[in-house]
Amino acid sequence: MINIKTQEEIKLMKRAGQIVYKTHQYLKEYLKPGVTTNQLNKLAEEYILSQKAKPSFKGLGGYPKTICTSINEEIVHGVPSDYKLKENDVISIDIGACYQGYHGDSAYTYIIGKGTKEANYLVNHTEKALYEGLKIIREGIRLGDISHQIETYANKYKLSIVRGLVGHGIGKNLHEVPDVPNYGHKGMGPLLKAGMTLAIEPMLTLGSEQINLTSKWVITTQDKSLAAHFEHTVLVTKEGYEILTKG
Ligand code: MG
Ligand code: MG
C-alpha cells in the first residue's frame, strides 16, 4: 500500500525537505580542493541538529555517518572519510533529514573546479534526467510513466542507467513502497494519487551500468567510469507535483 499523506504529514515533510535543501546549500560553499568529506559530514550534522531534526541515514542499517559522499566512480553510499577533495573530482552528496518523524531525501552531484568535458556532460544530463522524470508527475499517471521518461532521456544522451538502484516512496520511513526504477514502461505500475510522496533519483554513468559493492557500503561502477546522482523528494498533487527538497 502506498501511503497517502494527510495535510499535517505533508506539513512536516515540507519542513524536513526544507532542512535537507538548506543543508545542501550550506555545504556547497565548502566544496573546494583540500576539504575532507568528513568535514562536510560534520557541517551537515551540526546544521541538521541545529534545525531540531535528525540525520536520516545515520544508524540506518548501521550506517556510520550523516551524509553520503560518493566520489568519481562511486555511485552511492560513499562514506565520509579523511579523503581530501581535489580538482576535477565528481562528488555526489546525498542528504536525509527527519523532522518530527518525517523524512526528506535529496542528492546533488558537483564537480570540483572546472572538471573534464565528459564529467560536465554526465552531471548536466543526469540533473536534466531527474527533471524530465518530474515534469509529467500529477495524479492519474502511472509510476512507469516516470521511469520511462528518465530512461528515454538517458538513452537519448547515451548514458547508462544503474538498474540495480532505484528511487522510493518516503514518509515516516526513509524508504517506503513503491520502488521507483529509472527505467520502465509507460502505462505500467501503480496509479499515482495526490498526497503520495516519492524520492525520484536517477543514477547515471558514462560507462557500463554494472555495479560493485567495494566495501560494506560503497557501490561503484564496475568499469570505474564516472557516475552522477540527483534526487528530490516530491509530493504528487491533483494538478502536478511539488518538490519538497527545494527552496
Ligand atoms: Mg538520497
Ligand atoms: Mg533516496
Q: What is the mean pLDDT of residues 152-169?
A: 98
Cα of 105 from ligand 2 centre, angstroms: 6
How many independent structural domains does the chain possess? Answer: 1
Cα of 200 from ligand 1 centre, angstroms: 9
**Position 92 in a domain:** yes
Cα of 7 from ligand 2 centre, angstroms: 22
Q: What are phi and psi of 147, to 5 degrees?
A: -60, -45
Cα of 96 from ligand 1 centre, angstroms: 6
Q: Which residues surround ligand 1, an ion (CB under 5 A)?
A: 94, 105, 107, 231
**Position 21 in a domain:** yes
Residue 59: other Cβ atoms inside 10 A: 12
**Position 212 in a domain:** yes
Q: What digits encode the pLDDT tens for the residues 23-62?
A: 999 999 999 999 999 999 999 999 999 999 999 999 999 9
**Position 247 in a domain:** no
Tally of helices (H runs) and strands (E runs) in the chain: 4, 15
Question: 131 is in which domain, residue-wise?
Answer: 7-242
- Quote the CA–CA distance of 112 and 162 in Å, as a whole number: 23
Please report the pLDDT score of residue 192 as a whole number: 98
Q: What is the mean pLDDT of residues 195-206?
A: 98
121 has a pLDDT exceeding 90:
yes
Cα of 175 from ligand 2 centre, angstroms: 7
pLDDT > 70 fraction of the chain, expressed in percent and rounded: 100
**Position 184 in a domain:** yes
**Position 186 in a domain:** yes
Cα of 204 from ligand 2 centre, angstroms: 15
**Position 2 in a domain:** no
Cα of 167 from ligand 1 centre, angstroms: 8
Q: What digits encode the pLDDT tens for the residues 131-154?
A: 999 999 999 999 999 999 999 999
- Output the domain CATH number for residue 106: 3.90.230.10
**Position 39 in a domain:** yes
- Quote the CA–CA distance of 245 and 247 in Å, as a whole number: 7
Cα of 218 from ligand 1 centre, angstroms: 14
Cα of 20 from ligand 2 centre, angstroms: 12
Please report the pLDDT score of residue 145 as a whole number: 98
> Using 50, 70 and 90 to split pLDDT, how confident is the model at 247?
confident
